[in-house]
Structure 1
Amino acid sequence: MELSIAKLSNDPLFLSLLLLLLPLIIWLWLKLQANGRQKLNLPPSPPKLPLIGNIHQLGKLPHRSLRNLSKKYGSLLLLQLGQNQTLVVSSADMVKEIVKNHDIAFSDRPRTTAANILLYGCTDVGFAPYGEYWRQARKICVTELLSLQRVNSFQFVRDEEVEVAVDRLRRASFDREAVNLSELLMLVANNVVSRSALSRKFESEDGKSKFGLLARRVLVLMTSSCVGDMFPYLNWIDYVRGFTSSLKQVNKEMDAIFDQIIEENENSNNNDRQRDFLSIILKLQQDGLLDMDLTLDNIKAFILDMLVGGTDTSSTTLEWVMAELMKNPTAMKKLQKEIRGVVGDKTKIDMNDVNQMDYLKCVIKEALRLHPAVPLLLPRQTTSKVNLGGYEIPPDVTVFFNVWAIHMDPGLWEKPEEFIPERFENSSADFKGQDFEYLPFGFGRRGCPGMAFAVAFILYTVANLLCWFDWEFTDGENAENLDMDEVYGLTAYKKVPLRLMPILTKSD
């Protein structure tokens, strides 16, 4: 029997017939599935193509494509992505209803091929399935790294790394050299996160972040098209086209880095060094003081979350803040006046100074409104049938929350396409996701646990960039022609890196 199957698998006629019949088989299977769902009152859907459904309508910038579809079909939109039903939520009212009535039902994560391979079987905090493991994992990470007390304790790290960046900018100013600000901000973000989590930096000899680009590769792979996720019986295609091997290679590279870090930590005899997240977790595990046993892979998954999430989202936000200020010189001058007025004759900025900078907070909020770091948030998955907005939502549906579309809603925001920080001067909107019109860090149980860490770093960094320097365009750019195109890879970062000339204005 095995020999017959082997012969058939090598028979060109058999393979040709199989390839011809496969689309028909898939179409019939999907048709049967669709007929079974017709009894439900589902949200509206755009017209679908056979087999692929609505995949072709996502485009390179899905948050923008989905906003256009929601304008036509409504704020609850049901797409068919291969075999997968996907709900897109694009209104503050629907988010509010979900949080108040269905938060648990919308708190799970879909298990994708990329997340499974890159994130150690989805044992990180971001993509772990909703349940007891996720609750305990989140508790550990928040308590030991991301609580307000811990965030404040890492201020010396922010001080030192931002000061290093300021020194580099000062030298560039003396030499009249333009700087790749996007690259520098990624380096600073990665150094702050890695020192807080691991007491070490990933900086190459030429002053670039060795982990920053790897972190971005992880995020891009997380959102790359995976045939097996959309058509599980065609997962072999991902092996043939090299996608699966790419995932495994990146995981292998990261795993080698983490193995080395953990080994160095365990062999370290320096008891006086700053106790970082990794040291604390390993000690708690060794002493049996955790509420659950963690494997080394679990710990690596936590570290990966912090390094990847903390590096790319923060550096992307800083990049957009500076780009928007360069496009809007009036806002830039107003913010510089506030920052320099608060700092006065001091040679160093501290967080007490930053806390007095109200317009700075407005600028950061407005930049995150226009450019939420993760415009569709991390995908969620329903765990049970839910009635939402007059429609029936089945279980096991992937859910995207188009935060960017909510932030662009003209019914909520006056002149939503424009950069107007003043809109937040008398607004109750904050970063916590409790105002459903403004959700840069998500909301509910699966909201971003690193919000306090990120906001403190972003505020402090921008205050330093604008206190000590003026900024000029290079290469013939100006406020009118500055390229603001995006690239989507879970985060939405600037397509063309931001190159500017720093002009030292205040000696510190």
Structure 2
Amino acid sequence: MADTSDMYLYLGLALASLLVVLLATRRRSRRSSSAAAALRLPPGPWQLPVIGSLHHVMKGRLPPHQAMRDLARRHGPVMMLRLGEVPTLVVSSRDAAREVMRTHDAAFATRPLSATMRVVSNGGRDIAFAPHGAYWRHLRKVAVVELLSARRVLSFRSIREEEVAAMLRAVASASAASAAATVDLQAAMSALVSDSTARAVMGDRCKDRDVFLRAVDRAGELAAGLNTADLWPSSWLAGRLSGAVREAEKCRATLFGVLDGIIQDHLEKTGSGCDGGASTGEDIIDVLLRIQKEGGLQFPLDMDAVKSVVIDVFSGGSETSATTLGWAIAELIRNPKVMAKVTAEVRQAFAASGTVSESALGELRYLHLVIRETLRLHPPLPLLLPRECQEPCRVLGYDVPRGTQVLVNAWALGRDEKYWGGSPEEFRPDRFGEDEATATVDFKGTDFEFLPFGAGRRICPGMTFGLANVELPLASLLFHFDWEAPGMADPTEFDMTEAFSITARRKGNLLLRPVLCVPVPGV
């Protein structure tokens, strides 16, 4: 999503441009209302002609997932909105999420393809937005078995360790240059995760990384859906006046253009017999090209499908991990006692070796509680990815018409006092280790109050890949450095403002002063 000012610009444009279709919209609404009279639809806030519920969702400066949480407190955990002309069910309770993602999982297993998302996903040729059906099942099997399996993720360990070591050396050099030096740790971690992911996906760092990342970021903003083409899909005028689809086409062209050269390099190496042969040495593009070459698939992978899957894995593996790392460090700065406890654990575990080893990260119990608590308060995709109702069904006794877009508010679920006690906004990792009610709650899709990766058929297949990009960098940064927020007497004042995008990243920079405590090898 764009900045708040951009949202109001879109809304103003929509109001100005869509008045000419108001009468037609109202006629359709009357027909829809008469058809819905026999249904028990979920409650929701009052609506305006043309814009529907947008004025509620875009009220003030709150991100949409926060505004939707506040609306749900007044209208209930199963709430019907109309975003422009798109009927949207918002689910904000554990029981409702269970019905959507388990009881009626098959009915809600497809993805809506808005005008911009249709462009960004190349017509649903990727894993995340492919419509539910045989093609998606085929792609998901490829992802789970070949691309993102535990064995494949483990094969990329040396890449992660090399990239983390390079980042640590850069931070140590900045610290040695001046005792007062600060580093933008968010930028450093984003570059680290992007380079690690690029090497795992493409075999090497991407020479056009910044161009590629800008296109990925902009595509994510457009895909959030707050533009006239997506809000009024039946209006030819809205589509014509919106620049979002044209921007999405430019983003896709940029991404495909970068990948064309990388894939061509892979094909040339394979043709010359320089591919190495061993499956453990394959990057993800190698795997996809091998599967394509072997053939015999029900749905052969053409080059556009290969590129769509590569973009999927890259954006999912880098953006969500970098977002989680940023929130984890920010929460630790705001909570010095938690910072001291997790730092002590890491340093005790690796004091003898002088460096963090990924193979021993499983011993760091409290570090994993910190990551879990970060994901509870700051799920990278606060509304997950949208689903669409494929057949009429009922959720908590309310009728959900076919074609309704469904949003599960994972952010609201993770902060609901019904599930997390009297202080759900507090960053307290021990709630997963000591509190009887929450100690066993996990994020693997069976506990519906905690859904950072989703659940059911559309649960994120890259969970292991993403977590690997969080655990080693976080442990290494805590092992070698103490971290200070310069000029801040009260850590609770640390800025935690969210940016508007499809992911809920921190809005500001993460300017911190590193204090070297354990020497970094090679510096």
Task: Give yes or no for contact 2:232–2:238 (8 Å, CA) kept in 1.
Answer: no
TM-score, normalised with respect to structure 1: 0.92
> Structure 1 residue 178 and structure 2 residue 186: aligned?
no
Structure 2 CA distance for aligned equivalents of residues 390 and 283 of structure 1: 48
Structure 2 CA distance for aligned equivalents of residues 342 and 306 of structure 1: 32
Task: Give yes or no for contact 2:202–2:283 (8 Å, CA) kept in 1.
Answer: yes
Unaligned 5+ runs, structure 2 = 1-16
Q: Which residue of 1 aligns with 2:431?
A: 423
Structure 1 range deviating more: 231-240 or 319-328: 231-240
Task: Give yes or no for contact 2:393–2:399 (8 Å, CA) kept in 1.
Answer: yes
Task: Give yes or no for contact 1:118–1:218 (8 Å, CA) kept in 2.
Answer: yes
Deviation at 1:495, TM superposition (A): 0.9
Q: Which residue of 2 aligns with 1:379?
A: 386
CA distances 1:237-288 after superposition (whole Å, capped 9, x unpaired): 3433422221111111111101111111111243338311111221221122
Task: Give yes or no for contact 1:186–1:212 (8 Å, CA) kept in 2.
Answer: no
Any idea what SS the aligned residue of 2:88 has?
strand
The verdict on how the C-alpha distance between 1:289 and 1:409 changes in structure 2, with shifts beyond 3 A counting, is: same
Structure 1 range deviating more: 195-204 or 485-494: 195-204
Q: Which residue of 1 aligns with 2:196?
A: 192
Structure 2 CA distance for aligned equivalents of residues 231 and 271 of structure 1: 48
Deviation at 1:214, TM superposition (A): 2.7
Any idea what SS the aligned residue of 2:505 has?
strand
Tell me the C-alpha RMSD between the 2 structures: 1.8
Question: Which amino acid in the other structure matches residue 182 of structure 2?
Answer: A
Structure 2 CA distance for aligned equivalents of residues 295 and 20 of structure 1: 43
Q: Which residue of 2 aligns with 1:148?
A: 150
Question: Which amino acid in the other structure matches residue 157 of structure 2?
Answer: Q
Q: Which residue of 2 aligns with 1:7?
A: none
Q: Which residue of 1 aligns with 2:8?
A: none
> Structure 1 residue 39 and structure 2 residue 38: aligned?
yes
Q: Which residue of 1 aligns with 2:75?
A: 73
Task: Give yes or no for contact 1:190–1:209 (8 Å, CA) kept in 2.
Answer: no
Deviation at 1:102, TM superposition (A): 0.7
Deviation at 1:338, TM superposition (A): 0.3
Any idea what SS the aligned residue of 1:77 has?
strand
Q: Which residue of 2 aligns with 1:8?
A: none
> Structure 1 residue 485 and structure 2 residue 516: aligned?
no
Q: Which residue of 1 aligns with 2:445?
A: 433
Question: Which amino acid in the other structure matches residue 263 of structure 1?
Answer: Q
Structure 2 CA distance for aligned equivalents of residues 430 and 416 of structure 1: 16
Task: Give yes or no for contact 1:380–1:400 (8 Å, CA) kept in 2.
Answer: yes
Structure 2 CA distance for aligned equivalents of residues 19 and 218 of structure 1: 25
Task: Give yes or no for contact 1:187–1:203 (8 Å, CA) kept in 2.
Answer: no
Q: Which residue of 2 aligns with 1:390?
A: 397
Percent identity of paired positions between Structure 1 and Structure 2: 34
Deviation at 1:291, TM superposition (A): 4.2
Deviation at 1:194, TM superposition (A): 1.2
Aligned length: 488
Q: Which residue of 2 aligns with 1:355?
A: 362
Question: Which amino acid in the other structure matches residue 52 of structure 2?
Answer: G
CA distances 1:115-159 after superposition (whole Å, capped 9, x unpaired): 111111111000000001001011112222211111111111111
Q: Which residue of 2 aligns with 1:264?
A: 265
Question: Which amino acid in the other structure matches residue 118 of structure 1?
Answer: V
Structure 1 CA distance for aligned equivalents of residues 18 and 345 of structure 2: 67
Q: Which residue of 2 aligns with 1:459?
A: 471
Question: Which amino acid in the other structure matches residue 425 of structure 1?
Answer: G
The verdict on how the C-alpha distance between 1:144 and 1:475 changes in structure 2, with shifts beyond 3 A counting, is: farther
Task: Give yes or no for contact 1:30–1:83 (8 Å, CA) kept in 2.
Answer: no
Deviation at 1:318, TM superposition (A): 0.2
Deviation at 1:382, TM superposition (A): 0.7
Question: Which amino acid in the other structure matches residue 506 of structure 1?
Answer: V
Q: Which residue of 1 aligns with 2:282?
A: 275
Any idea what SS the aligned residue of 2:518 has?
coil
Structure 1 CA distance for aligned equivalents of residues 198 and 82 of structure 2: 39
Structure 2 CA distance for aligned equivalents of residues 356 and 502 of structure 1: 25
Q: Which residue of 2 aligns with 1:120?
A: 122
The verdict on how the C-alpha distance between 1:278 and 1:123 changes in structure 2, with shifts beyond 3 A counting, is: same
The verdict on how the C-alpha distance between 1:341 and 1:460 changes in structure 2, with shifts beyond 3 A counting, is: same
* Residues 51-450 of structure 1 mapped to structure 2, 5 A cutoff: 51-59=50-58, 60-176=62-178, 177-202=181-206, 209-268=210-269, 269=272, 270-272=274-276, 274-414=281-421, 415-426=423-434, 427-450=439-462
Any idea what SS the aligned residue of 1:405 has?
helix
Any idea what SS the aligned residue of 1:79 has?
strand
Structure 2 CA distance for aligned equivalents of residues 93 and 374 of structure 1: 20
Any idea what SS the aligned residue of 1:104 has?
coil
Structure 1 CA distance for aligned equivalents of residues 42 and 356 of structure 2: 51
CA distances 1:277-317 after superposition (whole Å, capped 9, x unpaired): 11122122112254421111111110010111111111000
Deviation at 1:217, TM superposition (A): 1.4
Deviation at 1:20, TM superposition (A): 6.7
Unaligned 5+ runs, structure 1 = 1-17
Runs of 4+ in structure 1 deviating by more than 6 angstroms, as ranges, are none
Task: Give yes or no for contact 2:229–2:245 (8 Å, CA) kept in 1.
Answer: no
Structure 1 CA distance for aligned equivalents of residues 225 and 487 of structure 2: 33
Structure 2 CA distance for aligned equivalents of residues 203 and 429 of structure 1: 41
Deviation at 1:429, TM superposition (A): 1.6
